[in-house]
Amino acid sequence: DGGITQSPKYLFRKEGQNVTLSCEQNLNHDAMYWYRQDPGQGLRLIYYSQIVNDFQKGDIAEGYSVSREKKESFPLTVTSAQKNPTAFYLCASRSYGSVGEQYFGPGTRLTVT
């Protein structure tokens, strides 16, 4: 079945540690996105990539980094510079030419203590 996988579903880290969240898609989509969701707020765009080896900052990129070495993979690293990393993280992808219709992964809930 085609879709987006994110792993793990729950992740716990100590403050000061970097952590990498996985996102893989087998939909052959060109564009991939990372969003952050906090209680009472809409999803906010962290980073996006429209093509392999290229990515752009979204609205809240500070403290995060990404890579896009393969079309199907778009990992997100939450660095120790991110002041409030505890959140729910969603990965999405879309096919070029579609009008904004994005497919979402199941999400990773990150807790940093």
Partner 1 sequence: KNEVEQSPQNLTAQEGEFITINCSYSVGISALHWLQQHPGGGIVSLFMLSSGKKKHGRLIATINIQEKHSSLHITASHPRDSAVYICAVFTHSGGGADGLTFGKGTHLIIQP
- Number of Cβ within 10 Å of residue 113's Cβ equals 7
Q: Which is nearer to partner 1, 15 or 41 (CB)?
A: 41
> Is residue 58 a contact residue for partner 1 (CB under 8 A)?
yes
E-strand stretches of 1-113: 4-7, 10-13, 19-25, 31-37, 44-51, 54-57, 64-66, 76-78, 87-94, 103-104, 108-112
Q: What is the DSSP string of 60-76?
A: T-TTEEE--SBTTB--E
- Binding residue for partner 1, selected from 2, 16, 40, 97, defined by CB under 8 A: 40
> Is residue 11 a contact residue for partner 1 (CB under 8 A)?
no
Q: Which is nearer to partner 1, 43 or 52 (CB)?
A: 43
> Is residue 42 a contact residue for partner 1 (CB under 8 A)?
yes
> Is residue 109 a contact residue for partner 1 (CB under 8 A)?
yes
Number of shown-chain residues binding partner 1 (CB under 8 A): 27
- Binding residue for partner 1, selected from 48, 64, 66, 87, defined by CB under 8 A: 48
